[in-house]
Structure 1
Amino acid sequence: MNDTIILFGHAFQLAHLVAGAGIAALVLLVIIALQLSGFIRSRRDETFLADERARDLDARINEMHNLQAQMTGRMQTVAEIFGTRQNDLARFVAERLEGLQHRVGQNLESSAQQTVTHLSSLNERLALIDAAQKNLSELTSHVVGLKDVLANKQARGAFGQGRMEAIVRDGLPMNAYQFQPTLANGKRPDCLVSLPGDAPLVIDAKFPLEGISAFRDAQDVEAKKRAIQRVRNDVGIHIRDIADKYLIPGETQNMALLFVPSESVYADLHEHFDDLVQRANRARVVIVSPSLLTMAIQLVQSLVRDARMREEAQTIQTEVRRMLDDVGRLRDRVEKLDTHFRQAQDDIGQIRISAEKVTRRGDAITTLEFEG
């Protein structure tokens, strides 16, 4: 037992080693016993927890069954309510669809009527468009004819004269104007318009258009200059001729009208030849377009109408004075007749008094008694 054992370079007694091994085994057994006791307690705790969990799970399962039963009842109630609501919804949708179909039918009928109306209106407008197109075609042919007319000097003069005469005829009575009259100096203006209480107004319609046409057709600067010079010469000479021939003191007005048969020519004069317009004004010759001549004729028409109104007013005043004289004589006669009536009434009153006296006397005589 006293043997010595060498381990790891150290010498140990065998008895010591055996005792150490026994102690180590005992400690190991104690440790194993403690671990087994802890394991048993943990297993017991786990078993308890498992039982608790099982009981909790059973309670939850029962609660879920109860909730499922309640949910089933509620689902049945919801199904019943949904079925009722579905029927109501179906009925409501049917009513709405019926009303919508009715309104759609009415709208379709109204739309059909409006469509028919619009189509008829469209047909009328198409007819108007066709008529306007025909008129436009006729106007185009007339414009072509007018261009041919204006290309001829004599025809152009007749055209200006005719347009001026049409404006004058449309605006004035027949006794208020004369065409191609003869003045005291032997000259014959195109038109002479009578003004109430004053000398007549001369209108000339022979405006020279050749220079204006050349001015419009000029393609280069030199041609335009020649055309401008021609316009100034022709129009200036014509203005001087009008002032010399037609402005006669005491016989005509101290101004005359130079009629331009085109608004565009009138615009060109004022735009490019303002010096000619000013020269005409200084010569007491007023250049007028068709619209301005129409306004002047309307003014003369107003003067004629006012003069006629004054004449008629004088006639009315004369007749009223005569009527007042007749009324005065009638008043005198009525007063005389009233005097005769009063005298007759007085005479009748006297006669009535006399008759009453005679009646009283007769009554007194008839009441007298005579002795027999």
Structure 2
Amino acid sequence: MILLLTRNFAKNIPDLINQQIGTLEKNQQRIEQTVRAEMTAGRSESNLSAKLTREEVGVAFKNLSDSLLASLVDKAREQQSTLAAIQQFLGSNLTEIANADKNRFEAFANETGNMLHSHYKNTIQVIGEMAAQHKGLLDTFSRQLTELTQMNEHKLEQMRTTVEQKLASLQEDNSNKLEQMRATVDEKLNQTLEKRLGESFKMVSERLEQVHKGLGEMQSLASGVGDLKKVLTNVKTRGTLGEIQLDNILEQTLSPEQYQRNVSVRQGSSERVDFAVVLPGKDDDAQQVWLPIDSKFPMEDYQKLLEAQEMGDSGTAAEAAKMLENRVRGEAKSIQDKYLNPPHTTDFAIMFLPVEGLFAEVLRRTGLWETLQRDYHVIVTGPTTITALLNSLQMGFRTLAIQKRSSEVWSLLGTVKTEFVKFGEVLDKTQKKLQEASNTIDSARTRSRAIERKLRTVEAIPASEPSQLAGEMDAVVSE
């Protein structure tokens, strides 16, 4: 049994060696392929890449050789120990087998060493050739790089010389142009400065003259203000000022026939209202109705109120406001007694205050405006509100005129209706006459065709037969 195992093991040793040789050949082929690939790639790389490739290939070969030698040594030692153990176990019968195996292993080791040495030499030779090629490429690249560097330095030197020349020329041109510009600017600056100074002095003179004129105007205005103050302090003149303002508003808003000045609204009374707006009666034949408008300007009480408010004296301001309220009530009572006379007038009148501040103060008094309207039938207005009121009256006038015109239009439409019926009758008669004329024209057209049929055979009219032709035509017409 042991002998059989020994023989089987001895038979398997060549197979193992063949397997190792096949593995080595495959590794060698792989190494050759790797070397070829590295050689192909190394031709296009730099000197540094070739150096790294040589180092990597050398290390790879060295590692491979070391690993193969170590593996073979380990295998040999392992087999020697195994054979020694078998020899000790079997005795002297296995000495020849052991010697044969030893010889085979030694021959295999020698052959493998020779093969590895040969491959190593080939690899070293290939690497040397690659190094030589890379060195040639590197030398060529270095030479071309040196030539390119020299060429670039030469071109840069030429460019530097050209740029220096251009810069020198440009600096000279710029200096000349700057000198020209400086001279031009100095000249223009002097001209502009002289012109501006002249204009400035002229403007200052004109402004001083204007200031002098303004001072004269201020003096005139001061005298005018004094005159205005005199006017406002005079009760009669102040009332006239309010009437003038009210007259201007009425003139701008209404037509001249829609209002009158200084109207007596009470028969047998000498009191005359400043202005009265003409309102139409209820019917077309009714007498016209007057809307009284009177201008009031309680300047003293309003001025006291303003002075108290400016001084911040609330007590005096309240007293002045009370006096102003009583004054306005008195004026409203006076308007009611003098100018309200229904049905000759409306049942209300209008009090015009020519100053907006005065009107605003009246409105600010709580319940005053409503009291004047309710108790005295007087509506208080200012310059703005009376314009709106007059515009509303103007719209009322227009509405009334439209109503009157509407009745006239209806009457006119009735007349047109009657005339249109008559016109229809005339059209019927005209149609009959036209029908008779059409029948007559048709009869004449028929006779004309008969005459044409008679004349178709006539080629010419002899001058000696006009009487005969006339007789025939009379006969045709009679037919």
* TM-score after normalising by structure 1: 0.57
- Is the partner of 1:145 in helix, strand or coil? helix
TM superposition shift of 1:70: 5.8
Matched-pair contact (CA < 8 Å) for 1:195–1:303 = no
* TM-score after normalising by structure 2: 0.46
In structure 1, list runs of 5 or more residues that go unmatched: 1-64, 98-121, 367-372
Answer yes or no: is 1:172 the counterpart of 2:264.
Answer: no
* Equivalent residue, structure 2, for 1:76: 157
Aligned mate of 1:280, from 367, 372, 384:
372
Cα 1:336–1:274 shift into 2, 3 Å: same
Q: 348-357 or 191-200, which moves further after superposition? A: 348-357
Q: Distance in 2 between matches of 1:358 and 1:72?
A: 126
Q: Distance in 1 between matches of 2:359 and 2:255?
A: 27
Q: Distance in 2 between matches of 1:80 and 1:329?
A: 118
Q: Distance in 2 between matches of 1:225 and 1:359?
A: 117
Q: Give the root-mean-square deviation of aligned CA atoms.
A: 4.9
- Is the partner of 2:257 in helix, strand or coil? helix
The percentage of aligned residue pairs carrying the same residue is: 23
Cα 1:227–1:336 shift into 2, 3 Å: same
Answer yes or no: is 1:233 the counterpart of 2:326.
Answer: yes
TM superposition shift of 1:193: 0.8
Q: Distance in 1 between matches of 2:250 and 2:374?
A: 25
Cα 1:280–1:183 shift into 2, 3 Å: same
Instruction: Give 1:12-161 correspondences, 5 Å limit.
Output: 72-79=153-160, 82=163, 141-161=223-243
Q: Distance in 2 between matches of 1:85 and 1:322?
A: 107
Aligned mate of 2:244, from 145, 158, 162:
162
Residue identity opposite 1:211 in structure 2: D
* Equivalent residue, structure 1, for 2:190: none
- Is the partner of 1:184 in helix, strand or coil? coil
TM superposition shift of 1:84: 9.4
Q: 163-172 or 343-352, which moves further after superposition? A: 343-352
Q: Distance in 1 between matches of 2:359 and 2:212?
A: 34
Cα 1:159–1:355 shift into 2, 3 Å: closer
Residue identity opposite 2:373 in structure 1: N
Question: Of the two structures, which has the highest relative contact order with CA contacts closer than 8 Å and spacing of 6 or more?
Answer: 1
Instruction: Give 1:329-368 correspondences, 5 Å limit.
Output: 329-350=422-443
Residue identity opposite 2:370 in structure 1: Q
Q: Distance in 2 between matches of 1:331 and 1:87?
A: 111
* Equivalent residue, structure 2, for 1:205: 295
Matched-pair contact (CA < 8 Å) for 1:258–1:287 = yes
Q: Distance in 2 between matches of 1:137 and 1:320?
A: 70
Structure label with greater radius of gyration: 2
